[in-house]
Amino acid sequence: MPGTVPCQLLNYVDGNFVTSVSSFANINPVNGELVSNVFEADAKQVSDAVVAAQKALKGPWGKLSVHDRAAVIHKIADGIQARFEEFVAAEVADTGRPVHQARTLDIPRAIANFRTFADLAKTSNTDLFEMATADGAGALNYTVRKPLGVIGIISPWNLPLLLFTWKVAPALACGNTVVAKPSEESPSSATLLAEVMHDAGVPPGVFNLIHGFGKDSAGEFLTQHPGISALTFTGESKTGSAIMKSVADGVKEVSFELGGKNAAVVFADADFDAAVAGVLRSSFTNSGQVCLCSERVYVHRSIFDKFVAALKIETEKLIVGYPDQEGVSMGPLISHGHRDKVLSYYQLAVEEGATIVTGGGVPQFNDERDQGAYVLPTIWTGLSDQARCVTEEIFGPVCHISPFDDEDEVIGRVNDSDYGLACAIWTTNLSRAHRVSRQIHVGLVWVNTWYLRDLRTPFGGVKLSGLGREGGRFSMDFYSDIANICIKL
């Protein structure tokens, strides 16, 4: 098992770690025990952080060349690598996720976020246009990237460090300063990152960390502060809607990655074993707590019964247990509150007439884990497309499997959703793969895979799943003030 986590988590403002009057408990979802006490930033501390970030824009940070700034960001990545096991411990303590997931996904991807965007900043290109003028001399128009300003960042709890750095890294790479709030459910790794920033020599005020909640707390104080230039948020759709209203009067730049009710489509010609393994992974990874997970699964009627039976067998092989347990597949949900929400859908599915293929309840361990936030991975069949369990995001280890008969039918059913984040298609027909992918109203389609990410590509959703795109040049565009310069020749 990785190392321990600090028992107190402080805010980081203007290069200093600071306490506050109020604090809240950070609870381990494995056993319900206290991980740490977290100091909640008040309105003044949030304002101090924004003012410090504004000041830092005009200081040494704002005078660095792109290459020198990239060198600092690479040093941050080196700092995470040097404290790798401490970050693993922080992620595991807050979320209960398997240790092997933290070691192979969460921490490596955080390091990659910093390295990728540091290198993109050095190689990012802009536009140049030659223009004819009436006098025949012509003119040149070229674009330049400038820092946008102070970026407000609010990140979620499901992939804490991965998604936190997904926003912090490009914001810094573009020369901005940030005031960032991690989820109150998973504050540990962000606090460690503040220590890495400090040790890496990031100037005071460039990176500021505030802990707290949403309404009437740090999140609301940040979104309503007039000193921020843009806000990027990952989380629930209803929270994104509230934030949009909050920043509307100031006409702030916003980027939202919100919820999903993603589909997986398995055609009759799919590689059957690969499709079963893929849907197993896309439904139950991280206990279903990934915005990209498949909660709606559509399988061609000719293989429906076989597929349901096979997925049931593989699901019941999943090991739900301790994060460091040998062969563990799933940990707990993030909190007891979230478990109550997921369990309410487990009950609703029964009321709506679902057939429970497997799962549907809480595992019994007869040890401290019974005080944790565990649920069983669950498969349903038999619900209509209008059932709440098929239309509403649950964000737990659950999927509903439904048969379909033809291509046009399934495309229509997949698109009949208030969400539009991602879809996974399983087929060996290359023409069908291209044809269907273009017709799915989502921001991201995978074919014969799931969660295979190239950080240079756009990421985001449509409808209630988000606004804008991040990743690669799309992040560079969002976090930059792009200006045109016209030179008369």
Instruction: Specify the DSSP class assigned to residue 103.
Output: I
Note the Cα 131 to chain centre separation in Å.
42
Strand-pair category, 422-426 with 444-447? parallel
Cβ atoms of 414 and 296 closer than 8 Å: yes
Cβ atoms of 245 and 280 closer than 8 Å: no
Strands of 8-9's sheet in order across: 8-9, 34-40, 22-27
d(CA 426, CA 111): 31
* Strand runs labelled E in 284-367: 294-300, 355-358
Residue 462 is inside which H or E element, if any? strand 462-463
Angle between the N-to-C axes of helices 66-82 and 160-173, in degrees from 0 to 180, rounded to the nearest 10: 160
Tell me the catalytic residues.
257
Instruction: Specify the DSSP class assigned to residue 361.
Output: S
3-state helix, strand, coil in the chain (%, to 5): 40, 25, 35
Q: Environment class of residue 317 by beta-carbon count within 10 Å: exposed (0-12), middle (13-18) or buried (19+)?
A: exposed
d(CA 422, CA 434): 15
* Strand runs labelled E in 301-404: 355-358, 378-381, 398-404
Answer positive or negative: Cα dihedral of 262, 267, 271, 272: positive
Q: Which residue has the tokens 């060198």?
A: 71
Angle between the N-to-C axes of helices 84-95 and 188-199, in degrees from 0 to 180, rounded to the nearest 10: 160
Residue 156: other Cβ atoms inside 10 A: 21
d(CA 339, CA 320): 15
**Which residues have C-beta within 8 Å of that of residue 253, sequence separation ≥ 6?**
148, 229, 230, 231, 478
Which value, in Å, is the radius of gyration of the alpha carbons in the chain? 23
Strand-pair category, 207-209 with 177-181? parallel
Answer positive or negative: Cα dihedral of 73, 75, 76, 80: positive
